[in-house]
Amino acid sequence: MYQAQLIELLRAGQHQQVHELCRTLGIELDLTEIDLSGAVLTGAQLVRAPLRGAILVGTNLAGADLTASDLTDADLGWCSLDGAILSGATLTGARLCEAQLVGAMLAEATLVGADLSEADLSGAVLTQTDLRETIQRKVVLLGADLSGADLSGSNLPEAECTGADLSGADLSASDLSKAALCDADLSAADLRAADLSAADLSGARLRGAKLSKADLSAVNLSNADLRDAELSGAHLRRGNLSGADLSYARLTLADLLRANLSGARLAGVDLSGAWLSEADLSGADLSGADLSDVHFIRSDLSGADLSDARLRGAYLTWTNLSGADLSSARLAGAHLTLALYDEHTRWPREFQPARSGAIASDAR
């Protein structure tokens, strides 16, 4: 009999009084499908609250404690949840478009299928959070902690994730096209078959990340850390990887047509069967790399270090080898017809480049 009166008090913003009355009377409010649009509930104690299907459009819940609450299918559009605690809460199918969640705590919460388009979660904690198949178009995750979160199959095009911690996160088959992930931590993250086309990952940490068959066309990975990363079959056409560290990464059958790898560190990398035609590898470190069957046609390898690299079956037609170090490279079976070299190019002892069809630059 107290339910209606307590709900009216809640709508009036008297949440502290409601909390005390509920405790005194030993009752729990049923807030299922309640309409609290525009209410001021800052700092409200709503632990384990039954808010399934609730309408909370424009509600001020800043600093509220919603730990383990049920917000399934709730409408929280334009809601203020800055600094709110939602740890362990269920927000499956919830609508959080343009909601403010700056510094909010969402650790181990469930947001499967939720809509977070244009929401601001800067500095929020989403560790081990279930975000599968969420819609996060233009979401703001500046400096947010999403380590270990599950974002598989999610839509995050044009997301702002600069400086975010996504280490160990599952982003497989997710859409991160045109996302800003510069200086983000994606170490050991699962990005298999993800769409990262035209994304900005400059300076990002991706050591040990799984990126096989990911779409990284026109991506910016300049100065990124991709050591030991798995990039087999990845699409990196026109990608910018200048200055990136890909030491001991696996890029078998990767597509790097016209990619910029100038000054990149590729020591010990496995590029066997990769496509690098018209790519810029000037000054790159490819020492000890497996370059078997790689297509380098019309690529720039000037000043590159290819010492101890394996080039069996590699195609270097019209490739610029000026100043490159091939002194200890394994060139048996390599196709050097019309490859260009100069007096600074270092060849294996007794190797005669002209007999392999290479052309000295002063002989053109």
- In the structure, what pLDDT confidence band is assigned to residue 4 with cuts at 50, 70 and 90? low
Model-level pTM? 0.92
Distance CA 123, CA 107 (A): 12
For the residues 112-132, what does the mean pLDDT come to? 98
pLDDT tens-digit readout, 189-231: 999 999 999 999 999 999 999 999 999 999 999 999 999 999 9
Domain covering 221-364 in this structure, CATH number: 2.160.20.80
pLDDT tens-digit readout, 50-104: 999 999 999 999 999 999 999 999 999 999 999 999 999 999 999 999 999 999 9
Q: What are phi and psi of 59, to 5 degrees?
A: -75, 140
Helix (H), strand (E) at residue 359: strand 359-360
- Whether the per-residue pLDDT at 303 is higher than 90: the answer is yes
User: For the chain, what are the domain ranges?
Assistant: 221-364
Cβ-contact 128, 109 below 8 angstroms: no
* Amino acid at position 194, single letter: A
Strand 359-360 relative to strand 340-341, pairing = parallel
Distance CA 71, CA 115 (A): 13
pLDDT at 361: 82
pLDDT tens-digit readout, 5-32: 666 666 666 666 656 655 666 567 778 8
pLDDT tens-digit readout, 307-320: 999 999 999 999 99
- In the structure, what pLDDT confidence band is assigned to residue 350 with cuts at 50, 70 and 90? confident
pLDDT at 278: 98
pLDDT at 121: 98
